[in-house]
Structure 1
């Protein structure tokens, strides 16, 4: 009997471990067509709360500049904590480009799976030497609602007036990220079925053992 219960317990543990890591896709899009030029901001970043334990990609919505501006490399830096000076966890350089001027587009930086802490605060930052690209952010110029309360838009240079909504900490970049390893994974239906079958077998064995003891006492 003890061997049967042990086998069921071990089987349940093994089935729980076999559940695949959950994937998460997060998108923050305030919808406002406002932009801050990366080179003007010195560094433009967004603080965010991690979902899961492995960050696979992180993207921003960009706007191209007027004619005369040229494409150039943009460095993406992932930092620990909610500032532009935290410990660097990952850096990727790429050249996002779009031919049409004054056009909005999304670009994702591939990170290859950076191990992070679920729920912890991090900062995704951008630097560039060309004024070709701006980062789209919200709310609108007269907006008063913070669309993403877990983070905010940051710039190294003081490009916003302290009395504006961005100066009040309610502006957020349009950003998105993909991650894996989300916590709180629920067993799949097949796992539940096997667990119920195992516990049912234990209950049946217990009932039979109890019946056998009663029969022996009556003899």
Structure 2
């Protein structure tokens, strides 16, 4: 009996200790336009966090001036929905820029940054040359907001009324990888099966023990 209980307890402890699976959230704003990071930066995106540990954040970029040096970008994660919010982490990276107006992804490694699931943060990039632009959307004639969890942000007015970004519906193409949702990791099906089997064994053992005790009392 004691061995059975110990085995089930170990199985439950193993499931509880299982790390949460990493999740990658990709937001494609559906546009192909690019705003100059150098001229209008820092530029970025406010977003709603999914999970409680941010490991990387990426943007889609495009080369807007092949004559400019491919210098490093500075990435910052801010605590809030504005460009003036507190900086939580800052890193640098040098994307390998391609041909003019060619879109490509680049991710900044953030290690493991503890955040709050469901809270709003802002990811921004700044540059020292006019080589790269931040890709955003939707199309100029769109009227629907493709991402309700945040919006594209620029340090200087970068849009006119015809772009529809003045209505707050524009978003960058971005993605991030996170883990450790505050609700806890969801056990895999095999783990659930192990737990159910363990509980079944314990139940059967307890019923058998009660039956033996009753039999002894009758005798």
What is the TM-score of this pair, normalised by structure 1? Answer: 0.88
CA contact (8 A) 1:141 1:165 kept: yes
Query: How big is the shift at 1:179?
Result: 1.7
Would you say 1:212 and 2:199 are equivalent positions? no
Q: Which residue of structure 1 aligns with residue 57 of structure 2? A: 58
How far 1:102 moved relative to its partner?
2.2
Rate the CA distance shift 1:214–1:165 in 2: closer, same or farther, 3 A.
Answer: same
Where 1:20 maps in the other structure, the secondary structure is coil
1:124 corresponds to which residue? 123
Structure 1 window deviating more from structure 2 (10-19 vs 171-180): it is 10-19
Note the alpha carbon deviations across 1:75-104, whole angstroms, 9 max, x for none: 111101111111111111222232422221
Is 1:19–1:188's contact at 8 Å kept on the other side of the alignment?
Answer: no
Aligned pair count reads: 218
Consecutive unaligned residues of structure 1, counting only runs of 5 or more, are none
CA distance in 2, matches of 1:67, 1:216: 90
CA contact (8 A) 2:5 2:202 kept: no
What is the aligned partner in structure 1 of residue 75 from structure 2? 76
Whether the 8 Å CA contact 1:4–1:202 is kept in 2: the answer is no
TM-score between both structures, scaled by the size of structure 2 = 0.88
Aligned to 1:23: 22
Segments of 4+ in structure 1 off by > 6 A?
none
**What per-residue deviation string (whole Å, max 9, x for no partner) do you get for residues 160-180 of structure 1?**
236742111110000111122
Q: How does 1:87-102 map to 2 (within 5 A)?
A: 87-102=86-101
